[in-house]
Amino acid sequence: MANFSINVNGKTHEVDVDPKTPLLWAIRDELGYVGTKFGCGIGQCGACTVHIDSVAMRSCQMTVETVASRNSAVTTIEGLSENGDHPVQQAWLEHDVPQCGYCQAGQMMSAASLLNNIPNPTDADINAGMAGNICRCGTYTRIHAAVKTAAGKLS
């Protein structure tokens, strides 16, 4: 066990964990940000997607030690906006995207990252940017439409 300082959602937090602990578990178990979900544990499903230094990354694949040593800024779904009013979150509601909802935090974090990099994405951009985020309910058509709506809100 070791003590690490990590910046999550704009606040510095101290966590006492094994250095190889995946960031996902520190976020959920130590800090209580439970919007980030465990899906597969191997970085293939996207449920654990967060922003690390503004880039969408799988938190199950990044260790606390790495995040702390780089002084990285981590943003979870809870940090995307204080009131759930980020354009991506609004678009998700408008298009009634979630069914079970399990993957949606990761989906929204990937969409927000995509729109930060490509403000007016083409269909191909959306397909590429959202690839690797698996929705077991199959709401991909609504996800795609919500990304387009969010892009319009951000421009």
- Contact yes or no for 129/123 (Cβ under 8 A): no
SS3 98: coil
Q: Determine the average pLDDT of the residues in 102-126.
A: 97
**Residues above pLDDT 70, as percent of the chain:** 100
Q: How confident is the model at residue 12 (pLDDT cuts 50, 70, 90)?
A: very high
pTM above 0.85, yes or no: yes
Other beta carbons less than 10 A from residue 26's beta carbon:
26
Q: Where are the beta strands (DSSP E) in 53-148?
A: 55-58, 73-75
CA angle (78 as vertex; 1, 24 as ends), nearest 5: 30
pLDDT of residue 123: 97
Tell me what the pLDDT averaged over the chain comes to.
97
Q: Determine the average pLDDT of the residues in 28-40.
A: 97
Residues found in the chain: 155
pLDDT of residue 82: 87
What is the set of domains in the chain, with CATH numbers? 2-80 (3.10.20.30), 87-154 (1.10.150.120)
